[in-house]
Amino acid sequence: MAGHLKELRVTMEDRPGSLAKLAEALGKAGVNIEAISAATSGGSGDIRILVADTAAARKALEGAGVKVTGEREMTFVDLEDRPGSLASTARKLADQNINIDAVYVVGGAGGKKQLAIGTTDTAKARGAVR
């Protein structure tokens, strides 16, 4: 399932209740957040979520007054759960001049971790990590 996730990006005001508003809208729509990243700066929050059904998520968020500012495909890679695994994958991308701007752990079992990686060129990144 994780390989079918897409990232949605929203910007919200940095104040109590903003994340609750986002999560409540998705929960009411039956959209599960598979992974999330959030950071605040200068009075606003940049929130990125990975979901399976981006159309339903977008509809729920916009219906709640939350503006979706971006959507994209991710590159998925299974790594050995050991020191240096991420370094090896990041080096493969760097050597192809592909910038990584987001990383999520989306699963793992049996000594492996599955990562979702956001890059400047998804198609090229997928080829580089194969």
Q: Which of 53, 72, 91 is the last residue of a domain?
A: 72
Structure confidence by residue, pLDDT tens digits, 48-91: 999 999 999 999 999 999 999 999 999 999 999 999 999 999 99
pLDDT at position 4 is: 81
Residue by residue, DSSP assigns the chain as: -GGG-EEEEEEEESSTTHHHHHHHHHHHTT----EEEEEEETTEEEEEEEES-HHHHHHHHHHTTPPEEEEEE-EEEEEESSTTHHHHHHHHHHHTT--EEEEEEEEEETTEEEEEEEES-HHHHHHHH-
Examine the fold and report which residue of 72, 87, 103 is the final residue of a domain before the chain moves on.
72
Q: Are residues 42 and 87 in the same domain?
A: no
Same domain, 33 and 88: no
For the cut 90, the answer to whether the pLDDT of residue 1 exceeds it is no
pTM: 0.88
Instruction: Write out the residue range of the structural domain in which residue 20 sits.
Output: 2-72
